[in-house]
Amino acid sequence: PGRNPVNPLVFRQMFRKLRCEDPSRPREVFRHLVALTRQWLRPDTHTKEQMIEMLVQEQFQIILREMLRAQQQKCPSWSDTLAESHCSFLAQPT
């Protein structure tokens, strides 16, 4: 009761894909972003530290993907080494 059965990652994707299609309604877009953020990060069940960790991990993964793509174009064998390092790094406690 009171729990949303939808996976929070669905709300994260909706948050990331949301676009303002009607520029005359910025407040509505802002409210919608706030609602999606709360459904994604679930401040009712996560601490501030956990929510920050979720945001940092997501951004870090985005940065690494961009690095991998760029480097793979320059040197395909280097991306294998970086991928192995990435897996090792993520396995370490923070």
Give the pLDDT of residue 1: 46
pLDDT along the chain (94 residues), means of 10: 68 86 83 91 94 92 86 73 68 67
Give the pLDDT of residue 23: 75
Helix (H, G, I), strand (E, B) or coil at 72: helix
Give the predicted TM-score (pTM) of the model: 0.62
Domain limits, the chain = 1-45, 47-77
Give the pLDDT of residue 48: 96
Give the pLDDT of residue 80: 66
Give the pLDDT of residue 12: 87
